[in-house]
Structure formats: C-alpha cells, structure tokens
Amino acid sequence: MLEIPLRDFLLHSLSLSFPHPVSGERLAQEAGVSRVAVWKEAQALRAKGFPIQASRAGYRLLSLPDRLEGAFLQALLRDTFPGLRVVFFPELSSTNSYVKELASRGEKEGTVILTENQTQGRGRRGRTWFSQPGKALTFSFLLRPSLSLRLSPLVGLLVALVLAQALEELGFSPYLKWPNDLWIGERKVAGILLESSAEMEEVEWIVVGVGVNVNMTSHDFPEELRSRVTSLAMEKGETIPRWQILRTFFSRFAREYPRFLKEKSFAPWREAFEERSLLAGRRVRVHWEGGEKRGMAVGIDEEGALWIQGEDGEKERIQWGEVSLDPLVN
C-alpha cells in the first residue's frame, strides 16, 4: 500500500524520470492500484497544470512547469540538501511562523515549507512582506547547526550570498545590501528573515525565511512599494520558473553550509560578499532605536559586522541596525 496520495506518487515518479516516460503498468504495480486509477490521476494532474503526455510508452512530463507542489519539488530538489523534505501549502499565514512551530516540536533539519499565498508575510524589524500569489517565491527552511548563538547572524549573510550566486548562475547580477537583502540596480528583489532559538548560548534551531520577487510586474506591487522594488521577470523581460531558483539555491547551499559549520567564521566568504556589496564605498545612514549614524560604508569583517567611517574619520563597527543609502548624498 502507498503511504502517500496516489497523485503525489505519480507526480514524484514522473518528475524523477523527466523527460522520459514511465509505463502505466509499472506505475500501477508500484502504487498497488489499477491502470485506470493511474490514468484518472494523470488527468487530474493535467488539469492542475502539469503537462502530462500519455502514449504507448507510458506517461511523461513534457516540461517542468512553474508549480510549487511538494511531490514535484521533492523530486527536483533531490541530491541537493541532505534530509531535504519539501511540504507545500496553497495558503499559509507565514512560512517562518509555521517552521518555527515545527522546530519547537522537534522537527528535523532540512524541512522546507513553501506556500503560494502567504497572507501575513513577515519582514525584518516587524515589517510586513508583500508577495503575489503565483508569482513570488516564499519559503522557509529549518537548520539545526551546532553553533554558538553569537555566530548565528552569519548564517543569514551566507544565505544571502548563496542566493545571490544562485541568481548569477541564472543570469542576474544582484547586489547584497548588508546584512541580507538582495537588490538589482537600486531596487530590492529579495529579503531574508532569520529567526532562532538557543539554549545556554548554543543554537537550538534557525529558521531561514526567504522571499524573492520572481515573476511580478510593477503593477502587482502595492503603489507605495513600486519605486523601491523589482522582480527577476521585470529585470529579464521574461518569466522564470521558480523551481529553477530553488534548485540552484539548495545545490549551492548544500556545498557551502557544511563548510561554514567547520570554519565557524565568515572569512572564506567575506571577499565574495564584498564584491557584491551595494553599500561599499557609499554614504550610508545607520539607525537603531534611539540613535543614528552617518558615514561611508567601508566593508564587513570576518564576524559579519559592518564598518563605517564617520565624517571625523573614525571607524565604527556596526552589528545591528537598519542601514539605508544616505538620501542626502545618493
């Protein structure tokens, strides 16, 4: 007996064998159902937007559509991050909140939660995160590193860098705005929200939430955001399937993350981050509750802190705070 719904089994099998067909007989046998049952599910999947062709040779996917179904992504993301388990919900208030809940109940590292419609997306510093159903990528995943809490923000820098490199592999040229925003040109294209829990200064879990503006047009964004945001499709002039971003990102992250846990420092990635820095050499304004500082962004150090140089020539190390390009001079 199948332990997963027949539809998921079929989708997973066809995605794994893409672009080759799988015989109806084999599918029916493996699932322990009739060939008619397989045919019915194939019809249902076709109606959901999966281009399934039935021929004498069996069933096959003609292309990989821009869909986020768990069984589909689970097949496409295999061989990326060890222990990756993809679960998709058509609607969720916030993927970060959901994964936090799972984490506190003992969920294992590698669980990825995706949604098509995030109704209460959260950004950094209590802001809301806008995403357009069907066009955005909103997902969160769970990590359980053996790491001291002090170093946990470095995971955010690493995720931002890896996401930038993944987008480069797909033909984009993003900049990194410290600590973990991605911009293209002068507009934000992706954001990362890290939430963690620790015991005795040792990380228990980290939830990494990623939001990417993938296929939105300018009109999809609320008016008040339009001048400050962009999407990959707006930059490229064509849409891009979201699974491509996920696959490229997780393949890279699976390589860099174990290395980071060994190094326990950002030193090996500092230069790569700097090369893509939006802020380096520019006048910035850093503000935090109760204060602000203006100066020139000089760079980041091996612990991931930002250094800025004030008018007086004094350099200051910034660990927290909201950084913006100084509107007086930029």
- Of the candidate residues 13, 74, 94, 215, the single one contacting ligand BTN (CB under 6 A): 94
Q: Counting contacts by CB under 6 A, is residue 116 touching ligand BTN?
A: no
Q: Counting contacts by CB under 6 A, is residue 127 touching ligand BTN?
A: yes
Residue 80 dihedral angles phi and psi, to the nearest 5°: -105, -95
Applying CB under 6 A, what is the total number of residues that bind ligand BTN?
Answer: 19
* Contact present, 12 and 75 (Cβ < 8 Å): yes
Which residue's C-beta sits nearest to ligand BTN? 191
Q: Counting contacts by CB under 6 A, is residue 150 touching ligand BTN?
A: no
* Contact present, 119 and 93 (Cβ < 8 Å): yes
Segment lying near ligand BTN (by CB under 6 A), choices 15-23, 78-86, 207-215, 241-249: 207-215
80 vs 96, beta carbon nearer ligand BTN: 96
- Of the candidate residues 192, 229, 306, 308, the single one contacting ligand BTN (CB under 6 A): 192
- Of the candidate residues 95, 111, 213, 230, the single one contacting ligand BTN (CB under 6 A): 95
Q: Counting contacts by CB under 6 A, is residue 230 touching ligand BTN?
A: no
Segment lying near ligand BTN (by CB under 6 A), choices 6-14, 33-41, 47-55, 137-145: 137-145
d(CA 35, CA 58): 11
Q: Counting contacts by CB under 6 A, is residue 123 touching ligand BTN?
A: yes
131 vs 248, beta carbon nearer ligand BTN: 131
Segment lying near ligand BTN (by CB under 6 A), choices 122-130, 166-174, 224-232, 247-255: 122-130
67 vs 100, beta carbon nearer ligand BTN: 100
Q: Residue 231 corresponds to which tokens in the numbers above?
A: 């999407």
Instruction: State the residues that interact with ligand BTN by CB under 6 A.
Output: 94-96, 121-124, 127, 129, 138-140, 181, 191-193, 209-211
